[in-house]
């Protein structure tokens, strides 16, 4: 019986020494978990703030360029009519519907978009409409290529639609007014059907 008591007494002592070692392991992992969580939260916040403040920071001053000798006056880039029109008097022009296949492997999905351009009042509606009528094939081509690069997931939700509007507006302004102030204020969506 004395041997059994010693064995019984030894077992609680073994268990007593095992528990502090396990607690020590838990304590050494906890700071790493906290540090990892802080890093993930900070990275997410930095990414979010970067996207929030990452706007097109191009200067808005118009650069006067002389038209080349090969360029006709009809295709000349329109300049802002500051005295004739007020910037707050925006005007609108509709684009033709565009249908494009989405970038979806294994499935045929397409999008049909009908857009309206919101033009700045710094250019008169007459000059702007004449210029944009000439450039409609270019705009339709740019829009088709842009939409064909989208996946179905990139077209869902209001955040994605706002991003699409912004990217189309930036693309159009860069191509139509490369040396001057962007005159397209925004893109309005009349129809955006994905099937």
How do residues 1-32 score in pLDDT, each as one tens digit?
Answer: 555 555 555 555 545 445 555 555 555 777 77
Q: What is the pLDDT of residue 32?
A: 75
Q: What is the pLDDT of residue 152?
A: 92
The mean predicted confidence, pLDDT, of the chain is: 76
Domain residue extents for the chain: 1-54, 88-194
Q: What is the pLDDT of residue 58?
A: 41
Class of domain 88-194: alpha beta
Is the pLDDT at 117 greater than 80? The verdict is: yes
What would the DSSP string read from start to end of the chain?
Answer: -HHHHHHHHHHHHHHHHHHHHHHHHHHHHHHHHHHHHHHHHHHHHHHHHHHHH------------PPPTTS-GGGSPP---TTTS-TT--EEEEPPPEEEE-S-TTS--EEEEEEEEEE-TTS-HHHHHHHHHHHHHHHHHHHHHHHHT--SGGGSSHHHHHHHHHHHHHHHHHHH-TTS---EEEEEEEEEEE-
What confidence category does residue 76 fall into, taking pLDDT thresholds of 50, 70 and 90?
Answer: low
């Amino acid at each position: 019986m004395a041997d059994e008591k010693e064995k019984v007494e030894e077992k609680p002592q073994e268990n007593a020494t095992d528990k502090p070692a396990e607690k020590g392991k838990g304590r050494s992992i906890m700071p790493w978990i906290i540090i990892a969580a802080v890093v993930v939260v900070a990275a997410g916040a930095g990414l979010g703030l970067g996207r929030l403040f990452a706007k097109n920071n191009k200067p808005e001053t118009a650069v006067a360029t002389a038209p080349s000798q090969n360029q006709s006056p009809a295709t000349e880039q329109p300049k802002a009519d500051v005295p004739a029109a007020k910037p707050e008097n925006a005007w609108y022009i509709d684009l033709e519907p565009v249908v494009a296949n989405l970038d979806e492997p294994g499935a045929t999905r397409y999008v049909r978009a009908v857009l309206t351009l919101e033009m700045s009042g710094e250019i008169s509606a007459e000059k702007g409409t004449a210029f944009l009528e000439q450039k409609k094939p270019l705009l339709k081509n740019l829009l088709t290529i842009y939409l064909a690069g989208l996946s179905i997931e990139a077209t869902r939700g209001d955040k994605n639609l706002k991003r699409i509007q912004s990217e189309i507006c930036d693309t159009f302004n860069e191509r139509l007014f490369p040396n001057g102030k962007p005159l397209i204020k925004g893109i309005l969506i009349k129809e955006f059907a994905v099937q």
